[in-house]
Structure 1
């Protein structure tokens, strides 16, 4: 009896592979800044499904996706400078956005696989900032929910390695022209 060859994908991916950044620049000059201290990271894409059944489905329900909603939930260890005590600028930008109205309540975010896998997205979100509280022996952690407003767009992964080709044009690892 022949045993099938096991798949090459036998190593389990780690949850900590994701990196979250917010844009602390302007529309014309983005400045992607790491959100440090993430202890939990979860993304969600939730479809809105509508019944589109007709007599043609012969009694079976037929569904269609009519909208998509996205969100990111993270728990962060609240970071402060050891000398000045000032909180991390990216974390503070999230906290401030959570207490504002209109355009000031939105942040541009992106997340991607820090190992360079083809898993990277960017969008605009509203912020919910919820301190976890705790006893005197607890660390200061915050639950941050980023609720998408508009499209979550796939982007080129910023952590994807670039290989210079002989023509001096960048070729990304995994592209057919790279010969990898």
Structure 2
């Protein structure tokens, strides 16, 4: 019996999708043009040491925050003068308040491996600018609102 060959994962393993529908009737659509993608999930750790530890430190996780930093290449249909609808949803949410400011998103391994997550986040939309030869890009940071929940990868079998 042979051992299957393991391959190193690439940074481009992630697929980002935005819910263009509602929570009750989701319409998951690909966020196109992702050039960089960096998810982070940082726990808050508090020192819970006491004398009973005989000098050994103890710690407790008391909270968790998450965010996604990504760079998007802008996509537009210049014949009808519109940007890609997923990009527009993110951009307009940046300027809104309340529920309109939150993006329901999910991201997953694009090869169908088990890693996949879903949550709601507030987007920070910042065009990159650049020299006259640069492509149109925007830096987006999604700051999590509530839990980032592990889900079954919808691309898995």
TM-score range, shorter chain: over 0.9
What is the CA deviation profile of residues 8-31 of structure 1, one whole-angstrom value per residue up to 9, with x for unaligned ones?
564211111110011110122110
1:155 lines up with 2:148 in the alignment: no
1:170 corresponds in structure 2 to: none
Q: Which runs of 5+ in 1 are unaligned?
A: 1-6, 162-180
SS in 1 for 2:129: coil
The size of the alignment, in residue pairs, is 155
Q: Kindly report which structure 2 residues correspond to 1:79-94, keeping only aligned pairs within 5 A, or say none.
A: 79-94=75-90
Q: Which structure 1 residue ranges, 4+ long, deviate > 3 Å from structure 2?
A: 7-10
1:127 corresponds in structure 2 to: 123
The structure with the largest strand share of the pair is 2
Match of 2:17 among 10, 18, 21: 21
1:31 corresponds in structure 2 to: 27
**Cα distance in 1 between the residues matched to 2:81 and 2:113:** 36
What is the CA deviation profile of residues 140-178 of structure 1, one whole-angstrom value per residue up to 9, with x for unaligned ones?
1101111111111111111112xxxxxxxxxxxxxxxxx
**Cα distance in 2 between the residues matched to 1:95 and 1:88:** 11
**Cα distance in 2 between the residues matched to 1:92 and 1:64:** 41
Structure 1 length normalisation: TM-score?
Answer: 0.82
Structure 2 length normalisation: TM-score?
Answer: 0.94
SS in 2 for 1:121: strand
What is the CA deviation profile of residues 126-152 of structure 1, one whole-angstrom value per residue up to 9, with x for unaligned ones?
110011110101011101111111111
For the aligned residue pairs, the C-alpha RMSD in angstroms reads 1.3
Higher relative contact order (CA 8 A, sep 6+): 2
**Cα distance in 2 between the residues matched to 1:94 and 1:158:** 22
